[in-house]
A and B are shown apart, each in its own frame.
Chain A
Amino acid sequence: MQPNRAAAPNAEPLFETINVTKSYGPFTALRDISFAVSDGEFVSIVGPNGAGKTTLVNVVTGLLRPTVGEVRFLGQDIAGVGPVELARRGMSRAFQLVNIFPALTVRETLAVAVASRLRRIANPFRSLWRDSVLQADIERVAEVLGLRGKLDTVASTLSQGEKKLLDIASAFALNPTVILLDEPTSGVSTGDKHAIMEVLVTAAKAAGVRAIVQVEHDMDLVERYSHRIVALQGGAMLADMPPDAFFKDPAMIAAVVGTRPQSKKAH
């Protein structure tokens, strides 16, 4: 089946994977994946467990080098460049599991990212606290992600939802061009999920993030927020289409979720 491409981007895509295949010995985790993300898009990657979503994210974020194919970000090949270089080039990532610096405060957590971006590291005697540019930037990021009141709270004492937000906030603090979220709302309550997504989308606009790519299981969230859905199955690309087309196709839903999402009717 020929992937049903969304409207062809008028400009060069922000990033794209071109015929990416990733094999581990005889096992092929990803097979010939090509998709592109353009300015202003919110793309969701969906698929059942083992479909290769996380492998795809790891390839796209330069953590894994594809066996075959190319990953291009802003026109440059980023295959295997590693996380630090990727962050420098403007792609940041938040994780599936809560991933924080437990003993650091919210302010310090954001300062880690802001200090890397503003290149404040070379001089080890420079003050962290008397750097007004850096502190203002921390407060700006905290403000858009609703963590302003928690700046001096130690991360390990935050609630689960706040920890997620903090993880996402530190990705935002890099002022990324593209942000990649691996199940941004996993492990939080349904109410919190929507709250987090709202904050996320608003923050992305405020921070000038040009595209968001997320891996998500919750089909409610996928339907509500995505402009486009990339569906994977068994390491291969099943679909690349807008959500209304995707959710009208029972075969798609069956392939990705297993059954029709009952929860939608219950709500």
Chain B
Amino acid sequence: MPSVDIASPAVPRAMPRVSGLWVLLALLAIMALLPFVASPYVLLLMLPFMGYGIALLGFNLLFGTTGLLSFGHAMFLGIGAYTAAALTSKFGVKSFELLLLAAALGSGLVSIVTGLLCVRYTRIFFGMLTLAFGMLFHSFLFKFYAVTGGDQGMRVLRPLLLGMEWRGGKTAFLTGPFYYYSLVLFALLGLAMWRITQSPFGLHLKAIRENAGKAAYVGVQIFRMRLAAFVISAVYGGIGGTILAVTTGLADPELAYWTHSGNLVFMAVLGGSGTFAGPAIGALVFVLLQDFVMSLTQYWRFVMGGVLVLLVVFLPQGLSGAVSLLFNRRNGGR
């Protein structure tokens, strides 16, 4: 590849040797064992990872699979978070299942409306439109103080899991039942996303990414498929945002800010958008790296920016791309 086009998803050049599903499930299996060995601090870090991981699975259906790079995806995380906040603290709805359902519906509906416009465009035009919608939503959250709490955000009360109320401290709740609940949810959504990417539906999305002009001539409904990918990715974003909001106990307008959308792009590029598990791994590394760098210096944004520069220059395929390159070299492959 003579030039690096970071605005396009990294595409694997050969059939992956290890199925992305197994990589993700192995990661989740390790996480299932983590509460037995890790400190509560580490477990609390894993919760945002799960929130982002789910959001990134969806984000990458749009970016890695369909070839549409959104700069406003944080809006859907924000919708998930604010749905959870509004339902728990204003309407007294505590069932986490209902929160998830409402978040999925809310982000799904908003994505249909915004997607009808956005997916008519591709490349930078799509990116700019999604960015614009994200900023509109952020200013709505920021300015409509009476409804959204403005810069104070909205509290998210502890939900009931499977209809059960969990007593005890916040940390015990988050690192115990909520941790496992989120993990199971992550696994189920991961499996569902795997099925999507391995279906004729997913193949049509890839065909659009590869060559939309030709795809139309072999019967691919470009607009409808792009919209479907947009909506599915938004639903995943809404669910991820709900987990983030319960973890912090707060729906904050920063969740929907455009820099947060940028973080999602960063995670996808970091992990490698060309693979199934890459973006989720990117989310994990991002969360850990951010925590580590923040503990060292207050100039953590500077360091993260530097990491991104190095990444684009030296590892355009992301971490998973680098790993498979090493793996292939060791096996005498190309």
CB of A96, distance to nearest CB on chain B (Å): 12
- A84–B220 touching, CB < 8 Å: yes
A225 in contact (CB, < 8 A): no
Judging by beta carbons under 8 Å apart, are A123 and B218 in contact? no
Cβ of B195 under 8 Å from chain A = yes
**What is the CA–CA distance of A121 and B199 in the complex, to the nearest angstrom?**
8
* CA distance in complex: A99, B196 (Å): 26
CB distance from B258 to the nearest CB of A (A): 29
Q: Which of A92, A109, A127, A131 contacts B217 (CB 8 A)?
A: A92
Find chain B residues with CB under 8 A from A148 CB: none
* Chain A: minimal CB distance from B55 (Å): 18
Interface centre among A95, A101, A170, A171 (most CB of B within 10 A): A101
Asked if B289 CB lies within 8 Å of chain A CBs, one says: no
Stretch in A112-120, A226-234, A241-249 with 4+ CB within 8 Å of B = A112-120
Which residues of chain B are within 8 angstroms of A127 by Cβ–Cβ distance?
A: 195, 198-199
Number of interface residues of B (CB under 8 A): 32
B235, chain A: closest CB distance, angstroms: 12
Which residues of B are found within 8 Å of A92, using beta-carbon distances? 217-218
- Interface size on A, as a range, is 35 or more
- Interface check B303, CB cutoff 8 A: no
With a CB–CB cut-off of 8 A, which chain A residues contact B216? 82-84
> By the criterion CB–CB under 8 Å, are A101 and B217 in contact?
no
- A88-131: contact bitstring with B at CB < 8 Å (1 yes, 0 no)? 10001101000111111100110111011100111111111101
Question: Is A238 an interface residue when CB atoms closer than 8 A count as contact?
Answer: no
Tell whether, in the assembled complex, residue B214 and residue A108 are in contact, meaning their CB atoms are under 8 Å apart: no
Q: Which of B12, B15, B218 contacts A174 (CB 8 A)?
A: B218
Q: Can you list 18 A-B pairs, Cβ within 8 angstroms, ordered by A?
A: A87-B217, A92-B217, A99-B213, A100-B214, A101-B207, A103-B210, A104-B203, A105-B15, A111-B200, A112-B219, A121-B201, A123-B199, A124-B195, A125-B195, A127-B199, A134-B200, A156-B13, A174-B219
Would you list the 9 A-B pairs with minimal beta carbon distance, nearest first?
Answer: A116-B219, A115-B200, A101-B210, A124-B201, A113-B218, A120-B200, A83-B216, A87-B219, A103-B11
Interface residues of A (CB under 8 A from B): 82-84, 86-88, 92-93, 95, 99-105, 108-109, 111-113, 115-117, 120-129, 131, 134, 152, 154, 156, 167, 170-171, 173-174
